[in-house]
Amino acid sequence: MDVNMPLLAASSLVAPAAESAFPWLSLIVLLPAAVALVMPLLPGDGSDPKWPRTLALATLAIDLGLMVFCFSRHFDGSSSDLQLVERVSWVPAMGLEWSLAADGLSTPLVLLSGLVTLLSVAASWNIKTKTRLYFALMLVQASAQGLVFLSQDFLLFFLAWELELVPVYLLIAIWGGKQRQYAATKFILYTATASLLILLSGLALAFSGDSFSFNLSDLASRSPGGTFGLLCYLGFLVGFGVKLPMFPLHTWLPDAHGEANAPVSMLLAGVLLKMGGYALLRFNVQMLPEVHLRLAPALIVLGIVNIVYGALNAFAQDNVKRRIACSSVSHMGFVLLGIGAVDALGISGAMLQMISHGLIAAAMFFVTGVFYERTKTLSIPNMGGLAKALPITFAFFLASSLASLALPGMSGFVSEITVFLGITANDDFTIGFRVIAIVLAAIGLVLTPVYLLSLCRRVFFGPRIPALAVVGDMRPRELFIGLTLLIPTLAIGFWPRLAIDVYEASTNALAQQLSATALVAMGRVTALG
């Protein structure tokens, strides 16, 4: 860590920002939810998916267009300040504000959320039951996701965090598989219990200063330490760790993926898991830097456990989606590693891993849904020889698998190597700790090609099953969805600055805040000595 870093480096994280002249962020967040209210008024008897599907697709396409226009014209990636700030007093008696803003931590994840949600709706072409409710829930989910990433008021953030649980629960419970009620109930129990810890920790921080405040910038400026800060940090860590998911709080994920349909799995893997990583950066790192520095080695250990355990657990899965879900547990361990590295390179790697995994996992679950629609099974032993019947589907699944196993030229390689470099570059850790951490994490990199390529071999090149010999390959709509997910994966792999330029100023400022906090702590120790 650079001891010459200025002590006031963290000031850019809490600097006041000019309010936006036009409420772009409110429009982006509220548009899908507003259109969801119109769903019951659509013509027809509710069984025809045409109108709900078309309206949802058009709404999310417009919403993604607004995101691209807003951030390309009005967002400056070279600044770590909050931008496009919108603040309106909503419930003054509770201190609740409608407070939205964007920075480098939120902007790429908002764009990822918009893209994956749009493609998830496009992948829901064959939903035939309760179509109005299904697509209305998808639209509400889109609004809740955007609000989580853009909220600058803790209470507003928490309301959005809770709101996004409801559509996911219903989407699994109504349109899931045979064990959908069990999976949906397990999901809501885990996440609702975790939410209680988030609420308690946030309220404790809000009341901790000289004045009561829910504003995230105000909370970040307090940076409490000691036992109080430790308890808040652990509350946030467990609460957000469930969503990440972090071992041993991950067990809801394979069940949820195993029973959810492919579009909902795309949302779970592509967006919801990223909420956990984003919240750890926003709350644990930015608001509690002193405690984070103390617990950073523990986060690295937890990340290694995630990586190795998730990879080993994937071998035991005979269901395609459950195997990919365990792979997600493993890959999200790299996010914990990057956050635990506490330097700019490591935090940058964590952000890039969230973006990369969001695209790759969404692509893998989408292609899995494609051959499930043809074969009506996800059991690996009951599939075989599909490469000849589904050559294009096989090509897309293989490309997604290669991206997931961090093949050079794919975004997964860039993000994971950046995390490794972040750990090696931090000389605050002993050489022995760094070597052990890298060696153990590398085990996951070795195991990933084994379980993914063996999956490809068994599904596409195993003994041919006559009943699956003649099935239709990917249609133009499905090709478009697959390409829309894989092209950014390749683009970021060959030119990482496409993503890094959006968030680099914010991750650098976050690393400077940690460095300044470390210098202050060293000064205290020197004074006591």
Percent of the residues in the chain that have a pLDDT greater than 90, as a whole number: 68
Phi-psi region of 170 (alpha: psi -120 to 50; beta: other; left: phi over 0): alpha
Quick check: helix, strand or coil at residue 270? helix
Place 44 in a pLDDT band, splitting at 50, 70 and 90: low
pLDDT of res. 9: 39
Highest mean pLDDT among 165-174, 420-429, 512-521: 165-174
Angle at 421 between CA 105 and CA 432, to 5 degrees: 125
Which amino acid, one-letter code, is at 253?
L
Per-residue pLDDT averaged across 506-512, rounded?
A: 94
Residues 202/156, Cβ–Cβ less than 8 Å: no
For residues 204 and 468, the model is more confident at 204
Is pLDDT at 186 greater than 50 in this prediction?
yes
Q: pLDDT (tens digit, 9 = 90+) per residue, 328-367?
A: 999 999 999 999 988 899 999 999 999 999 999 999 999 9
Place 16 in a pLDDT band, splitting at 50, 70 and 90: very low
Of 234-248, 372-386, 393-407, 502-516, give the lowest mean pLDDT range: 372-386
pLDDT of res. 522: 66
pLDDT of res. 235: 96
pLDDT of res. 164: 92
Q: pLDDT (tens digit, 9 = 90+) per residue, 140-181?
A: 999 999 999 999 999 999 999 999 999 999 999 999 988 999
Nearest alpha carbon to residue 347 among 148, 112, 506, 520: 506
Question: What mean pLDDT value characterizes the chain?
Answer: 89
- Rounded CA-CA distance 337/434 in Å is 11
Q: What are phi and psi of 153, to 5 degrees?
A: -125, 130
pLDDT of res. 339: 94
91-98: list long-range contacts, CB under 8 Å, 24+ apart: 94/155, 95/155, 95/206, 95/212, 95/213, 95/214, 96/153, 96/155, 96/156, 96/214, 97/153, 97/156, 97/214, 97/215, 98/26, 98/153, 98/156
Q: pLDDT (tens digit, 9 = 90+) per residue, 438-493?
A: 888 888 888 999 999 999 988 888 777 666 656 778 899 999 999 999 999 999 99
Sequence-ordered list of residues with C-beta below 8 angstroms from that of 194, at least 6 positions apart, any chain: 238, 239, 240, 241, 242, 243, 249
Residues 355/492, Cβ–Cβ less than 8 Å: yes
Sequence-ordered list of residues with C-beta below 8 angstroms from that of 266, at least 6 positions apart, any chain: 116, 119, 120, 123, 361, 362, 365, 366
Tokens of 107: 């902007």
Total Cβ atoms within 10 A of residue 251: 14
Is pLDDT at 10 greater than 50 in this prediction?
no
Angle at 353 between CA 197 and CA 403, to 5 degrees: 135
Is pLDDT at 82 greater than 80 in this prediction?
yes
Angle at 264 between CA 261 and CA 266, to 5 degrees: 110
Is pLDDT at 95 greater than 70 in this prediction?
yes
Place 93 in a pLDDT band, splitting at 50, 70 and 90: confident
Percent of the residues in the chain that have a pLDDT greater than 70, as a whole number: 92
Place 520 in a pLDDT band, splitting at 50, 70 and 90: confident
H helical segments located in 244-343: 252-259, 262-267, 273-279, 286-287, 289-315, 320-341
Q: pLDDT (tens digit, 9 = 90+) per residue, 98-140?
A: 999 999 999 999 999 999 999 999 999 888 888 999 999 999 9
pLDDT of res. 46: 59
Is pLDDT at 14 greater than 90 in this prediction?
no
For residues 13 and 395, the model is more confident at 395
pLDDT of res. 529: 54
